[in-house]
Amino acid sequence: MNLYSDEHNLTVNLEIELLLEAIFQQYGYDFRNYSKAHVKRRLLSRLSTSGLKSISEMQHKVLHEPGFFDQLLRDLSINVTEMFRDPSFYLAIRKEIIPILKTYPFIKVWHAGCSTGEEVYSFAILLKEEGLYNRVQIYATDFNTNVLEIAKKGIYPINRIKEFTANYQQAGGRQSFSDYYMADYNSVIFDQSLKKNIVFAEHNLVTDSVFAEVNIIICRNVLIYFNRDLQDTVFNLFSDSLINGGFLCLGSKETIQFSSKAGLYETVNFQEKLYKKRIV
């Protein structure tokens, strides 16, 4: 069969569907409603380096070797992140959300899809500088336990610090960024006091349910990997987890606009994708 024919392409698509079904049934991770182009790209790129001949062979391997599933889980969950990613986002939070949070005696924050934790420590620093850190409980969750382990340590390669520092300054940082970490030869470790009010925990946005009522949800660059239906399911989960008047903060290319839950929110900042759950 011609490897580049429409027929073959459709067969590959079918193999991928079957593989995702197998993964779901055996391991409980549900990628069936992730962006198909994204999943295909990641799987075919793994296939090309794996020595396997087809996605069907991959299915056999994943069913019989949990270690290989671990590999695929890493492939399918894009973990790329940075501290103070999109500095303008943090500026907008400082300006438009912090003043309202300051009126609450206690604040619960949920970072959904926190990856290796850079976003969580960034927000913790912001809360500290705004004098709010002692009134917060931060939940930082991801479905990938490998990245959570890194997040808990709060240790990052030193070669990233230049970029992080520049972001911090553009994000309205008020101190010298080096106040927040200690550097050694190849890595930096973030101040232990930043961790005091953070709980890192495994949580799957697709298959797990509400675990707390929170004032603000930060879920950035996670929903872009989901199809519209799945986005809707997750928006549902978020709406059930947010208090009335609570804030939903998405990635710069994500929007609640097309979701059936859009009506529950008012826009706080369109550019930075900050929304507020209406008080009904």
Partner 1 sequence: MDIKRKSVNKMHGIVIGSSTGGFYALKKIITSLPKGFSLPIMIAQHISPNSDNFMAKYFDGLSLVTVKEADEKEPILPGVVYIAPPNYHLLIEEDFTLTLSTEEKRNYARPSVDVLFESAAYAFGPKLIGVVLTGANNDGAKGLLAIKNFGGTTIVQNPKEAEAYVMPQAALETANPDFVLSLDEITKKLIELENLFRGESSNQ
Ligand X SMILES: C[S@@+](CC[C@H](N)C(=O)[O-])C[C@H]1O[C@@H](n2cnc3c(N)ncnc32)[C@H](O)[C@@H]1O
Asked whether position 252 contacts ligand X by CB under 6 A, the answer is no
Identify which of residues 25 and 45 has a Cβ nearer to partner 1 in the complex. Answer: 45
Asked whether position 41 contacts partner 1 by CB under 8 A, the answer is yes
**Helix 36-50 × helix 6-27 angle, to 10°:** 90
Contact 241, 217 (CB under 8 A): yes
Among the listed residues 59, 122, 144, 259, the single contact to ligand X using CB under 6 A = 144
Asked whether position 174 contacts partner 1 by CB under 8 A, the answer is no
Residue 1, helix vs strand vs coil? coil
Torsion-angle region of 51 (φ positive above 0: left; ψ -120 to 50: alpha; else: beta): left
Asked whether position 150 contacts ligand X by CB under 6 A, the answer is no
3-state helix, strand, coil in the chain (%, to 5): 50, 20, 30
Identify which of residues 49 and 209 has a Cβ nearer to partner 1 in the complex. Answer: 49
Asked whether position 18 contacts partner 1 by CB under 8 A, the answer is no
Residue 273 touches which member of partner 1, ligand X, none, C-beta under 5-8 Å by kind: none
> Looking up tokens 């197998």, which residue turns up?
22
CA distance 203 to 147: 12
| DSSP per-residue letters across 235-271 | HHHHHHHEEEEEEEEE-TT--STTSTTGGGEEEEETT
Closest approach, Cβ 82 to ligand X, in A, equals 6
Contact positions with partner 1 (CB under 8 A) in 202-241: 221, 224-225, 227-228, 231
Contact positions with ligand X (CB under 6 A) in 71-90: 77-81, 85
> Looking up tokens 């994204």, which residue turns up?
38
Contact positions with ligand X (CB under 6 A) in 100-119: 113-115, 119
Identify which of residues 109 and 223 has a Cβ nearer to partner 1 in the complex. Answer: 223
Residue 206 touches which member of ligand X, partner 1, none, C-beta under 5-8 Å by kind: ligand X
Among the listed residues 40, 61, 74, 160, the single contact to partner 1 using CB under 8 A = 40
The alpha carbon torsion through 23, 24, 28, 33 (nearest 10 deg) reads 120
- The footprint of ligand X (CB under 6 A) covers 77-81, 85, 113-115, 119, 142-144, 147, 204-206, 220-222, 251
